[in-house]
């Protein structure tokens, strides 16, 4: 009984968005109301009767959800403003011209931006940055907004396990004490074996937009990232698996395109790319230089409420801060006047107004489900029901965590200990099951409501998130099912 109640808010969101085409904001608010009633009536959240305990409980949940909403808006605001400024200054048109010289085929441009560039942004910054940056560029290249967001969501997913310089895996290491390389190469192996599935759906979306890249180009883009990513994960660890794989794959793709097209210098291209170049430099310097990373990471905004609810943000290392810095420095390098920068920021702020409600509803819901025990109930039911077949569902647990929390790192923090303990109890190879968790946490980003809300906001689709979810749900479910099958085979091999 309790497990069905615990799943009800998630099922309600899916039903309202998929069947009735509700926006994420409406569906999230209704699901939040249901979760609040269930939390109090069936799970005893906030105490047996209304009063101080209930007020503290719901205040704490709202505080955590609000804080997380602000941290995500801090990414979206400069990302939206950057794209607006690039449009106003003509930089987007210059980028389009540069890509046209490299290749006139929109499908190949999409592979370069929606797959390889999105993966690079994921490896460098993570936390929603790839979709927020890649989708508007794809729209600028002529793709329909819905197709642009779907391409970005599919394109960056294989790199989410090692996003933001390996943060999701490093969280798993901290929780389990397992070797980072052992987790990383097993996680990368799952993506390498199955990444072609994501590329197939990527190509399918391109075909729906009227373009087809051909098997050779799709294979080059997929293998160009997946194989170097696996090698880096096995040789170095999680930090550079996505970032390095995207750089190698992107460089290889561009070299092949240049040899094919014989393209030369594009006037103004360096100036148009200035903000992105600044962003790359900032990410690399702040992540790779240990002394600087330590100094910047030491500055944190932290709070704690009622000894149970808390939040933490490292403002100087946050992707939003890096994006804002790249926006301002890039505008300086492009000699964009200050009033134009202010106008872009104001326009972006107005765009975010309808998005804020959706983000807030979804994130408060996720914190409520976690603190009230709904997530824990789902965990226990899965363990008791599945038993020795756990490897088949381990990726789905990771995806559930990402769907609810909006973050692969948060999913790993939430479920890695459960995965490790379950593996030990069932005599399964612990590292393989932890890797399956990290794999699934990445896949969940394809359908994560806050990712979809963020992507929709950047291309003017606020309120139409259901359309995007309908197009990403099948790839997510198929990728998870195949991931479970491979994880089960690898776990069986590890037991032999």
Give the pLDDT confidence score for residue 273 in this predicted structure.
79
Domain that residue 174 falls in: 2-495
Give the pLDDT confidence score for residue 329 in this predicted structure.
94
Give the pLDDT confidence score for residue 441 in this predicted structure.
95
Phi, psi of 310 (to 5 degrees): -155, 165
Rounded to whole angstroms, how far apart are CA atoms 396 and 410? 15
Q: What is the largest CA-CA distance in the chain?
A: 74
Written as six digits, the tokens of 400 are: 């559930």
Q: What angle do CA 152, 296, 349 make, to 5 degrees?
A: 45
Written as six digits, the tokens of 412 are: 């790993």
Contact 148, 131 (CB under 8 A): no
CB atoms within 10 A of CB 463: 18
Give the pLDDT confidence score for residue 176 in this predicted structure.
84
Predicted TM-score (pTM) of the model is 0.76
**DSSP category for residue 289:** -
Work out whether the CA dihedral 390, 393, 394, 397 comes out positive or negative.
negative
Rounded to whole angstroms, how far apart are CA atoms 438 and 411? 8
Q: Which residues contact 216 (CB under 8 A, 6 or more apart)?
A: none
Rounded to whole angstroms, how far apart are CA atoms 296 and 281? 15
Q: Which residues contact 443 (CB under 8 A, 6 or more apart)?
A: 157, 160, 395, 398, 399, 402, 476, 479, 480, 483
Give the pLDDT confidence score for residue 127 in this predicted structure.
63
Phi, psi of 436 (to 5 degrees): -65, -35
Give the residue ranges of DSSP H helices in 141-179.
145-157, 163-176
Give the pLDDT confidence score for residue 51 in this predicted structure.
54
Tens digit of pLDDT at every position of the chain (496 positions):
788 898 898 889 878 877 887 877 788 899 999 999 999 888 888 765 555 578 888 999 999 889 888 887 887 788 778 878 887 888 877 877 777 788 889 999 999 999 998 998 888 666 677 888 889 889 988 899 999 999 999 999 999 999 877 878 888 887 788 998 999 999 999 999 999 999 999 999 999 999 988 899 999 999 999 999 999 999 888 878 998 899 899 989 988 988 887 666 667 778 887 887 887 788 778 867 888 888 888 888 999 998 889 888 889 887 788 889 989 999 999 999 999 999 999 988 987 887 788 778 877 887 898 889 887 787 778 778 888 899 999 999 999 888 877 778 878 877 887 788 788 878 899 999 999 999 999 999 999 887 898 888 888 887 888 899 999 999 999 999 999 999 999 988 876 5
CA distances from 90 to 83, 86, 140, 286, 328 (A): 11, 6, 11, 29, 17
Q: What's the structural domain count of the chain? A: 1
Give the pLDDT confidence score for residue 473 in this predicted structure.
94
Rounded to whole angstroms, how far apart are CA atoms 46 and 52? 8
CA distances from 200 to 215, 294, 448, 478 (A): 10, 41, 20, 12
């Amino acid at each position: 009984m309790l497990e069905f109640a615990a799943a009800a808010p998630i099922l309600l969101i899916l039903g309202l968005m998929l069947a009735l085409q509700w926006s994420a904001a409406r569906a999230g608010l209704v699901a939040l109301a249901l979760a609040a009633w269930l939390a109090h009536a069936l799970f005893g959240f906030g105490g047996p009767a209304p009063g101080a305990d209930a007020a503290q409980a719901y205040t704490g949940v709202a505080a955590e959800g609000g804080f997380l909403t602000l941290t995500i808006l801090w990414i979206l605001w400069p990302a939206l403003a950057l794209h607006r400024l690039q449009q106003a200054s003509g930089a987007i048109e210059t980028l389009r011209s540069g890509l046209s010289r490299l290749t006139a085929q929109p499908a190949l441009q999409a592979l370069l931006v929606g797959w390889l560039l999105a993966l690079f942004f994921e490896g460098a910054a993570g936390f929603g940055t790839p979709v927020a940056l890649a989708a508007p560029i794809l729209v600028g290249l002529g793709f329909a907004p819905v197709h642009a967001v779907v391409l970005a969501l599919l394109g960056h997913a294989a790199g989410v396990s090692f996003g933001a310089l390996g943060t999701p895996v490093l969280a798993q290491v901290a929780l389990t004490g397992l070797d980072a390389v052992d987790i990383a190469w097993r996680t990368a192996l799952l993506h390498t074996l199955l990444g072609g599935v994501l590329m197939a759906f990527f190509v399918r979306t391109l075909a729906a937009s009227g373009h087809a890249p051909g098997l050779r180009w799709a294979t080059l883009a997929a293998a160009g990232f997946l194989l170097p990513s696996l090698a880096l994960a096995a040789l170095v660890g999680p930090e550079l698996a996505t970032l390095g794989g995207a750089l190698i794959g992107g460089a290889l793709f561009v070299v092949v395109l240049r040899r094919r097209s014989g393209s030369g210098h594009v006037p103004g291209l360096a100036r148009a790319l200035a903000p992105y170049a600044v962003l790359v430099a900032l990410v690399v310097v702040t992540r790779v230089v240990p002394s600087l990373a330590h100094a910047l990471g030491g500055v944190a905004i932290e709070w704690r409420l009622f000894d149970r609810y808390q939040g933490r943000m490292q403002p100087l290392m946050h992707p939003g801060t890096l994006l804002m810095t790249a926006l301002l420095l890039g505008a300086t390098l492009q000699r964009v006047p200050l009033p134009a920068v202010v106008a872009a920021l104001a326009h972006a702020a107005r765009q975010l107004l309808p998005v804020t409600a959706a983000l807030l509803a979804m994130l408060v819901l996720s914190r409520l489900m976690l603190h009230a025990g709904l997530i824990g109930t789902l965990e226990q039911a899965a363990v008791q029901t599945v038993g020795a077949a756990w490897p088949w569902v381990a990726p789905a647990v990771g995806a559930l965590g990402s769907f609810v929390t909006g973050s692969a790192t948060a999913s790993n923090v939430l479920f890695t200990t459960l995965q490790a303990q379950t593996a030990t109890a069932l005599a399964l190879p612990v590292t393989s099951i932890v890797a399956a968790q990290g794999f699934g946490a990445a896949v969940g980003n394809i359908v994560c409501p806050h990712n979809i809300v963020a992507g929709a906001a950047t291309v003017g689709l606020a309120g139409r998130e259901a359309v995007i979810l309908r197009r990403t749900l099948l790839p997510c479910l198929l990728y998870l099912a195949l991931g479970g099958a491979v994880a089960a085979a690898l776990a069986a091999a590890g037991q032999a």
